[in-house]
Chain A
C-alpha cells in the first residue's frame, strides 16, 4: 500500500498559522489576488507616489482596509499584473476587510502533511481498540503486567490496574478518573493513550506513554507531493451555532483535488519488536493472530468503522446545521458506500472527528466530565452551552475536510 492517492471530497484547510491580511490582497470579482507588494510599491514610486504616503496609509489604513485596492483602482492598474497568485472565492469577500487563513505550503506550493493524515488514522485506531478490546478485563491485565526497571510492579501501577478492573470499561474508568486529575485539557488523553498504545511504569501515575512501545510507530505516512496552486480557493466559512459570528475565510483545496501520498506499514519493525509492544492495541491485534500481519487490516477497518460512526453522528444531528441541514445530509449520504478509505482531516473537522467523542457521548459520565473540563464555553465566558459541540463550520454548505485515500 505504498503510493496512495488522496482525493479531496469537501473543502480542506490545513493552516500554517499565518493569515493573509487586507495589506496582502486585492479583492476582485470572484477572485482574490495575493499581491507582490514589493513590485507594486516599486511601480507606484516610479509613477510619482511618495513612499512616505504609502507607508502612512499602510500604518493607518482608511475606513476601507484594502490600501492597495485604492491605488490600483485609481491608477487603472491591472491587479493580475501584480499577483503572486489568484484565488477563486466561494462566498462573499469581506467588504471592507478580510483575513484569510493560509494553507500550509512548501516552497510556495501547498501540500498535505503526513502528520495530518497519520493523526486521523491514529484517532480511528484508538476508537477501534477501545471499542473492541477496551473491556475492563483486558485493560486491567495489560496494565498489571507493566513492571519497573527492577522488574517489579509499582504500587501505583497495581492500584491503577485494580481501579480499571472495577470499572465497566476502560472508557468508563477514564471518565470517572478525569475529573480527579488537574488537566488543562491539552493532555486529557495522556493516560488513555498510554494504556492503549504503549506504556512504561511510572511511580506517580502508574504508567506513562512510551512512544517506543507504540506499534503506530510502524505506520509511516509521508508528506504529499506538491499540489498545484490552482487547486486552492478562498472559502467563506459559515459558523453555525454562534450568535454573533466573526467572519472567517480560509485558503482551502477544492473538492476533486488529488495528491500523491505514501502510506506504509513497516511489518518487519512490528515483528521484531513484538515482545516490546504492550498496550491494549497490541493485545487486541494478538486476538487476530500474528499482530504484525493483522495490523494493516485492523487499521483500515478502524478507519471504516470510525468515520462511518462520525458520519452517522453528524447526520443524526443534522438539524443543528439549521437552514443548511438538508445540504449537509445530502453531502453525508453522498459519502455512503464510497470506495476507498474515507476519513476526515484538517481544520474545521470538529470535535467528533478529532476525538473519540462518538464513544464518550454514549457514556453516562460524559456530560459531567464535559462540564468539568469546561468544554463548550459560551462566548465571553458566560457559562457553558447545553449543547456540545456548540458550533459547526461549513464551507459552501459542506462539512470540511473529508477526503478519500485510495
Chain B
C-alpha cells in the first residue's frame, strides 16, 4: 500500500538566488537548427519572453549528481555493493542512459536518493519529498532589456586536416544573470529529515562544482547559490496561518551553500527542537 509511514511534520522552504557565473544554456530542446538561424535557443516564458530555468531541470540535475555521489560512497549509505546502483535504463539498448531508481516503496524509503527525489518503480511509487519551483529572473534582472539577457555566441570548429572553419551560433543567458529559486522539503519522517536536508545541500554544493544546462564541457552553466531565507513551517502554521508557528533561520541570509552545510547544527537547532517537541 502506498503512503504507509507517510507523515506530515511541516515544510522546510529554502529561497534565494541562483547566479549564472558563466553563460547558461538551457535549451528549448529544438533539435533541428534553422538554416542560418540559431541552434538550440534558450527556453523562455511564453508570456513574458524572459528566459527561465524549469524547476524540473534543476531538480533532475541535483538528482543525477547526488546519485553519482551516493554511488561513490556506498558504504556510508549502506548500499548493496554487489548490485549495479544504476539499475534502470531509460535510453535504448544501443544508447543506454542508466539511472538509479528503487524498485519498491521499502527500498526507496531507505535510499537517500529516492526518498528525496522520488522513485517510480515497477511495483510501486515513492513520491518525492522535494519540490523545486521554476526559477525566474530576479526583479533586478527583469528590469533589463530582453536583448541584454541573452547573447548569441558564435562557435568555431576547425577541421583538423584542412584547418577550414565551421561556424555555428548558440544562444545563451549571459554570465551574471540571477534567478530566484525556491526549494521545498516536506518533513515526512522525524528520523530522516536531518539527513535529507543535508543531502539536498550536498547536491547543491555538487552542482556548484559541476554545471547546469548544456555544453558544460565547454564551460557553460557554472552556477552559484545564495540563500535569502530558510524557513520551517509547522503543521500548526498550515492550520492557523499564525506567523508564530514558523521557525525562521536568521543566520541563512546571504550565505552560500558551503556555509549552511558547515553550520548546519547551529542553524537548524531551532527546527530540531521544534520537531522534537512534537
Contacts and interface: CB of A to CB of B under 8 A. Distances in A.
A and B together in one complex:
yes
Interface of A: 16-17, 106-107, 113-115, 118-119, 123, 126, 147-149, 151, 178, 184-189, 192-193, 200, 212, 216-223, 262, 266, 268, 272, 276, 350-351, 354-357, 360, 373, 375
Given A218-B217, A220-B216, A186 B166 contact: yes
25 contacts: A106-B23, A107-B174, A107-B175, A115-B218, A118-B217, A118-B219, A119-B157, A147-B94, A148-B94, A149-B92, A149-B93, A149-B94, A151-B93, A185-B164, A186-B166, A189-B160, A189-B162, A220-B219, A222-B22, A222-B219, A266-B210, A272-B86, A354-B160, A355-B158, A356-B161
Nearest to B210: A266
B222 A188 contact: no
Given A17-B154, A222-B222, A186 B159 contact: yes
A16 B219 contact: no
Given A115-B218, A262-B219, A188 B159 contact: yes
Given A223-B23, A268-B68, A272-B86, A217 B159 contact: no
Given A106-B175, A357-B163, 4 more contacts: A106-B174, A119-B158, A221-B217, A223-B219
Contacts of A351: 163
10 shortest A-B CB distances, which residue pairs?
A: A114-B219, A222-B219, A185-B162, A188-B161, A149-B94, A189-B160, A354-B163, A351-B163, A185-B164, A223-B219
Nearest to A217: B217
Given A115-B155, A149-B93, A123 B217 contact: no
A134 to B, nearest CB: 13
A386 B94 CA distance: 48
A216 B217 contact: yes
A118 B163 CA distance: 16
Interface of B: 22-23, 68, 71-72, 86, 92-96, 151, 153-166, 174-176, 210-211, 216-219, 222
Contacts of A113: 153, 219
Contacts of B211: 220
Nearest to B175: A106
A260 to B, nearest CB: 12
B160 A193 contact: yes
A212 B161 contact: no
Contacts of A276: 96
A110 to B, nearest CB: 13
Contacts of B216: 220
A188 B96 contact: no
Nearest to B153: A113
